[in-house]
Amino acid sequence: MAEIKSEIVDADRRRLLAATASGIAAFGVTSLLPLNASATPDSEAIRPFQVSIPDSDLADLRDRLARTRLPEKETVDDFTQGVPLKTTRQVLDHWQNRYDWRKAEARLNAVPNFITEIDGLDIHFIHVRSKHENALPLIVTHGWPGSIIEQLKIIGPLTDPTAHGGTAEDAFDIVIPSMPGYGFSGKPDGTGWGPERIAVAWITLMRRLGYKQFVAQGGDWGAVVTDMIGVQAPPELLGIHTNMPGAIPIEINNASFVGAPAPSGLSAEEKASYDQLVFFYKNVYYAFLMGTRPQTLTGLSDSPIALATYMLDHDRASLEMIARSFDGKDEGLSPDDVLDNVTLFWLTNTGVSAARLYWENKLAFFAPKGVTVPVAVSVFPDELYQTPRAWAEKAYPNLVHYNKLPRGGHFAAWEQPKFFTDELRAGFRGVRKSG
């Protein structure tokens, strides 16, 4: 288990701020301290945090990788049996011989990290305030098998738009929390931490940071959490953005789940989306396992290559894209990108604790949740399904932005940060003015 160092003594706080100031300055941050970091009760204290993985943990990882026992080659020439042995060998070789966790650690420590207790649980988050006045506060939520690693590429463009092709009017303050059981956040020791409770915690976090208005964004589980923030609709919320909408009409969702023939009356676009859903539901058994037996996945805590292959096999498009990247092709994610995320899971021993979110969830993942606040929707071509505008308009009656992108998949912010950043700027431009 990684050693977590969180310093709250004034002297240590000054040392931490000075040590990271040079890296943070690259993001145009005006202050490391949250807006109301002083005069708060101890239970609501916001503590500066620094990632510091002991050398012994990295040595243990190297030892376990060296002792990996692999299976025989799959009996097919495609991806229908999961991660091919060739890709597994490439991941193992890169992890052992070329990957450097300390580079990822330095990138994490180059932005302001904090921990605060919410509802009895320590919540880790990145918080970067823009140097531009009137920056729009934004909370971004990752999914599974993701982490805060997914969002590192968008911090600079969102908080310092004038250095990344935008204008000062496009600026955001950005908050990126680690979900409970993920990364450096605490692991719940009781039940009840589903998307609804996480949404409540995120609203509490934004209020604790002193924000009177904010917007929210999410993909994968982050999309569900963000939908629930929209359902709860706190008065501070101006709107939400999703790159994996909960927009499938319930009757279509139910039919696709069991693989029934497509309902009559669908447009060509809707029929194509229906076929994508049928395919996805036939290949989502990892979710069923985590949703019913997360504790059985003990091997994710014992074998790094087991953790890696389990995380890589999220969806066919993402797996094939990752496999091409390990073949040396220029893809949305590089081998180091992939291993930054897997290694974070390994060093924090969160393979099983993260999986429990599937067990906790009681919501229909893709179905409409009843969001009535302003919503922006971005549709990436290699997402699990492409949301037709008609479905988005029905699910989100206050749809303020809808756009189809030319490239990108399930991990949109991570794979295509330029497209993703442009979408957030465009999607929130209207609510920014109205707020």
Strands (E) located in 45-87: 46-50
Residue of 182, 227, 410, 422 marked catalytic: 410
**How many Cβ atoms from other residues are within 10 Å of residue 40's Cβ?**
13
Q: For residue 242, what is the enclosing H or E element?
A: strand 237-242
Four-residue CA torsion sign, 132, 135, 139, 144? negative
Instruction: Look up the pTM and report it.
Output: 0.90
Q: For residue 60, what is the enclosing H or E element?
A: helix 55-66
- Amino acid in the structure at residue 430: G
Q: How far apart are CA 361 and CA 284, in angstroms?
A: 15
Residue of 211, 286, 310, 358 marked catalytic: 358
**How many Cβ atoms from other residues are within 10 Å of residue 393's Cβ?**
15
Residue 27: the pLDDT is 34
Residue 40: the pLDDT is 59
Q: How far apart are CA 385 and CA 223, in angstroms?
A: 14
Residue 25: the pLDDT is 34
Cβ neighbours for 15, distance < 8 A, ≥ 6 positions apart: 7
Q: How far apart are CA 384 and CA 253, in angstroms?
A: 13
Give mean pLDDT in consecutive 10-residue pieces for the chain, a chain of 435 residues: 35 33 34 42 90 98 98 97 97 98 98 98 98 97 97 98 95 98 98 98 98 98 98 98 97 94 95 95 92 98 98 96 96 96 98 98 94 98 96 98 97 97 97 77
Collapsed DSSP state (helix, strand, coil) of residue 388: coil
Residue 13: the pLDDT is 35
Determine whether 358 is an active site residue.
yes
Burial of 41 (0-12, 13-18, 19+ CB in 10 A): exposed
With beta carbons less than 8 A apart as the criterion, state whether 84 and 313 touch. Answer: no
Q: How far apart are CA 420 and CA 413, in angstroms?
A: 5
Q: How far apart are CA 157 and CA 423, in angstroms?
A: 12
- Which residues share a beta bridge with 124? 115
Strands 214-218 and 172-177: unpaired
Which phi-psi region, left, alpha or beta, contains residue 377 (left: φ > 0; alpha: ψ -120 to 50)?
Answer: beta
Four-residue CA torsion sign, 357, 144, 126, 216? negative
Structure tokens at 79: 């991806």
- Which residues share a beta bridge with 174? 128, 138
Compute φ and ψ for 47, nearest 5 degrees.
-105, 125
Residue of 122, 160, 173, 220 marked catalytic: 220
Q: How far apart are CA 57 and CA 65, in angstroms?
A: 12
Collapsed DSSP state (helix, strand, coil) of residue 6: strand
Q: Is the peptide bond before 145 cis (omega within 30 degrees of 0)?
A: yes
| Residue 82 Cα to chain centre, angstroms | 23
Q: For residue 192, what is the enclosing H or E element?
A: none
Residue 11: the pLDDT is 33
With beta carbons less than 8 A apart as the criterion, state whether 215 and 238 touch. Answer: yes
* Residue corresponding to tokens 């501070």: 236
Q: Which domains does the chain have, with CATH numbers?
A: 5-247+283-434 (3.40.50.1820)
Structure tokens at 291: 């949703």
**Closest residue by Cα to residue 376 from 414, 413, 432, 428:** 428
Collapsed DSSP state (helix, strand, coil) of residue 217: strand
Determine whether 410 is an active site residue.
yes
Q: How far apart are CA 310 and CA 94, in angstroms?
A: 17
